Every structure is written in C-alpha cells, then in structure tokens.
Homo-oligomer: A and B are copies of this chain.
Amino acid sequence: MTTNPLNSENLLLAFLSEFKEIDASQLSKIASLIPVECYEKGTVLIEEGSRVHHCYYVLKGCLRQYQLVDGIEKTTRLYVERQPVAFFNAYTQQSPVDVFVECAEDSVLIVGDVRSETTMYEEFPVLQQITRKMMEEDFGKMQESFAKFIISTPEQRYQDLLEKRPDLLQRIPQNQLASYIGVTPESLSHIRKRLGTR
C-alpha cells in the first residue's frame, strides 16, 4: 500500500455515480463503506498457494495474473480499469489459489472482503445488483475472449491486441505479454517482425 497521489476518493465517487441504480442521497454513505486502497507497481496482491478472501475492482492501474510453469512466469490474465478481480472457486471451496496477481502499474483498487459481503448486500441491496451487473459484463467478455483464443493463432491474437487493446502493448513488457497470447517471447519477436510492428 502507498500514499494516495491518485486521488482514490474521487475515483470511487466518479465510478459509483455512473450507476443510475444508486440514489444520489446514498452515494456518500455507500462510498464511505467501500474500502479503496492504493498499491505500488510490483506489489504482489495474491500469492499462489494462499487462501484468498478478497476481491478487487480496478479503478485505476493494471494487474497481471500469472502462474509458474517450470519456474517460468506465464501470464494468464490482465486486469485494467473497470474490471473485477475475483476467485470464486477459492472463496466457495476455501481452497488455495493457484495463481499470482501483481500490480503491473501503481494501482487504485476497491478491496472487498467476501466474508462480509452478505451483510453489505443486506444493508444496501443495490450493491448486489451492481455487483451482478459487473460480473455479468466481465463474464461475457471472458467468454468471448476464451472462445476467440481457442479458434485463433498466436499471430491473430497479437493482431487482435494491436487493434483492440493497444494500451496493453504499452503497459505490459513484451516478455510478460508473450505467454498471454500463447507463445514464447522469442516467437512474439518473430510475429512482431513479420507484422512490421517492431
């Protein structure tokens, strides 16, 4: 955790005020109940093998999820602004997570504790509605990404990033991005060379 140069309170209020479901009169009360934290680039939020009770929501920044395969970090997911970070299997089965999640940039995150969410939902049912919407949106996107990953080649995946997620290419080093499209860093270099994006 770090000091607050990114003005986390304003980020939270701006985010919450986008939901027409939240009555303006309840906005500051709800905001005061939602913990927001700032983390420095490089902070490891989740360690493989640990038990996780927290979920996150990216207000600002970028998180990288990776797994160690034969000692090598393989990036399996990237989270940017307006994405939830949740590990439902770990919450419900109370089993350790099998991934690492680290801050790829200085980040401002909503930090939720799943052990107290029921109480919060009871007090503010609107939050359950909002959470469901956010999850559904993310679910839909992940479903599409997974299907697209299956039917495409690494080169197509890279071209897709170039077109639709050019920000990721700036935010994540090439060696960490390679496994995310299913290739080694060397193969990614070849792909970039072929596509003339070096």
Chain A residues with a Cβ under 8 A of chain B: 65, 67, 69, 74, 76-77, 86-90, 92, 98-99, 125, 128-129, 131-132, 135-147, 149-151, 179-180, 182
Q: How far is the CA of A92 from the CA of B135 in the complex (A)?
A: 13
Chain B residues with CB below 8 A from A145, complex form: 146
The reply to whether B144 and A89 contact each other, CB–CB distance below 8 Å, is yes
Give the chain B neighbours of A129 by CB distance below 8 A: 128
With A88-B136, A128-B129, A131-B132 given, name 7 new contacts (CB 8 A). Answer: A74-B151, A76-B146, A88-B137, A88-B143, A89-B144, A132-B132, A139-B142
B132 touches A128 (CB 8 A): yes
Q: 12 A–B contact pairs at CB < 8 A? A: A74-B151, A77-B147, A87-B140, A89-B141, A90-B140, A92-B140, A132-B132, A139-B139, A146-B149, A149-B150, A150-B179, A151-B179
Q: A187 CA to B145 CA in the complex, in Å?
A: 24
Q: How far is the CB of A22 from chain B (nearest CB, A)?
A: 17
Contact present for A67 and B151 (CB under 8 Å): yes
Give the residue name and chain of the B residue nearest to A93 (CB).
B140
Pick from A74, A90, A140, A149 the residue with the most CB of B within 10 Å: A140
Say yes or no: A150-B88 contact (C-beta < 8 A), given A128-B128, A142-B142, A143-B142.
no
Complex partner residue of A143 from B69, B87, B144, CB under 8 angstroms: B87
- Residues in B with CB closer than 8 Å to A141 are 89
User: CB-nearest residue of chain B relative to A77?
Assistant: B147
- Give chain B residues whose Cβ lies under 8 Å from the Cβ of A142: 139, 142-143, 146
* Contact partners of A99 in chain B: CB under 8 A: 147
A150 touches B89 (CB 8 A): no
Contact of A150 among B76, B90, B139 (CB under 8 A): B76
A172 to B187, CA, bound (A): 33
Considering the complex, give the chain B residue whose CB is closest to the CB of A152: B69
